[in-house]
Structure 1
């Protein structure tokens, strides 16, 4: 690389052939706050909001390990009137719950605290989040915004651009919530096909980073089964058992007919050599990769 070339972490990851499998951050609760102005590099933490309200929202979200994301419609459209907020929750039963509200003044955001403790509403359509947080990482803007445009043209009421979701080098990243499904390495064309299949109840292994209610080796195991036997619904496969011996994992997965009813999946974890993993992070870091070594029916 010459001194005039700009380092882009997503380009570098593709050249290296970095695996996206098993890279979805763990979590089952999301707080979305529509913010139409510029996003600070650290997202919600960097907003200049009324301090007491901000502290209440932060502590309530932290108590349930919720991820707080700023969102906006593609193109930074600035419609008149109140802005939206939402609490999205993926329950252990597989139920998806959402609660939405609006805010005009900072103090209105205190309603999020109550919503985090409320059951929420069932039956609402999922939210499609596209990371386009250029202040956090250049690739999120360069790759995320074309995806945000393409998806917004297709599903204008479901799609929001959002702040950092993790895995900058896998941009463009899309999260479907409260389903809790991460996709990466997307472009405008592949994102529309991927989301269309997802909304039809068919999750494909290609571009799948993982399910956020599972841990990385479990995510890798489920993705491998989907890749081997074809697309599946979000809850078609269930992790029925997990055992570990050092860097080796054995994951038992059950699935519905007509697929075989159970699988034993062996997963090996290892660290890569140190690389620059983000556009703005000059420090070299290694990443953990989860590689499936075998799938057995039984």
Structure 2
């Protein structure tokens, strides 16, 4: 296949105008492992680690539905000292906890399982968020082609906050950026828009443009929040609180409360959302099979009665 005929999933998604909102995968815990060698196509699963330790980390992560990501500084910039690992947690009340450690031997990664299994969920609460840029080229070409320029731009601006990472989901929305443990996914980014999105996020102003969703919400709820951000303008990560969600067939009603009114004029809203399944299509650069997805559209936004 010549270069002109090569398929890029992110190009195809933009031509189809695939909707971003409602595509953030659910989750509230992230495991980060700094790995300075080459990343296997399947990330952590493909690493040749001491088997007992690897299985213990996998089991502990699976028990809390944590996503395991390999991380590195942009350009594989080597830092002094041992590699790092982290467990990042997001709670429903907005509280965050981060536990960081280091590893030189495979067995040192058992500290991840200890942190995940601890009853009191240890970790620092005041640490700044971690900005993750998917740049996993062996998993999907678009993640490298679009992700690495974004990783470079963000790393130049916030060198201590930004890491490149393995697959975060939604290859066709590359470049993808995840802010954790805030649990916010951004997509369809380039270098300039990524700097703007992260700058605004760090100032607690989330915009609808480039927002895929909040990972503590389900797709219809993510779409409802994005609809309010689009109508009333940027707002804080916890400005809107989902109060109630009901479903009737392919229609959803999401009631939201405005916790700290800044830009939206009312304190309660009801957003009606409709879901539909798309025709089968190629969703990744490497995937040869055709798959359909569930997409959502906003039917109405109304002020909800008290």
Query: Aligned residue for 2:187?
Result: 184
1:79 deviates by: 2.7
Residue range with higher mean Cα deviation, 89-98 or 167-176? 89-98
* Residues 31 and 61, structure 2, Cα contact 8 Å, conserved in 1: yes
Query: Aligned residue for 2:84?
Result: 84
Q: Distance in 1 between matches of 2:37 and 2:13?
A: 31
Q: Deviations over 1:152-178 (max 9, x none)?
A: 000000000000000000000000000
Unmatched segments (≥5 aa) in structure 1: none
Query: Aligned residue for 1:5?
Result: 5
2:167 equivalent among 161, 164, 167: 164
Query: Aligned residue for 1:253?
Result: 256
1:4 deviates by: 5.0
1:60 deviates by: 0.3
1:57 deviates by: 0.2
1:78 deviates by: 2.1
Q: Distance in 2 between matches of 1:189 and 1:219?
A: 24
* Residues 81 and 104, structure 1, Cα contact 8 Å, conserved in 2: no
User: 1:159-238 alignment to 2 at 5 Å?
Assistant: 159-238=162-241
Query: Aligned residue for 1:54?
Result: 54
TM-score by length of structure 1 reads 0.98
Q: Distance in 2 between matches of 1:210 and 1:164?
A: 17
1:5 deviates by: 1.3
* Residues 61 and 67, structure 1, Cα contact 8 Å, conserved in 2: yes
Q: Distance in 2 between matches of 1:288 and 1:122?
A: 36
User: 1:52-201 alignment to 2 at 5 Å?
Assistant: 52-116=52-116, 117=118, 118-201=121-204
Unmatched segments (≥5 aa) in structure 2: none
Q: Distance in 2 between matches of 1:110 and 1:175?
A: 25
Q: Distance in 2 between matches of 1:103 and 1:219?
A: 36
Query: Aligned residue for 1:274?
Result: 280
1:119 deviates by: 2.6
Q: Distance in 1 between matches of 2:227 and 2:63?
A: 33
TM-score by length of structure 2 reads 0.96
Measured on the aligned residues, the alpha-carbon RMSD in Å equals 1.2
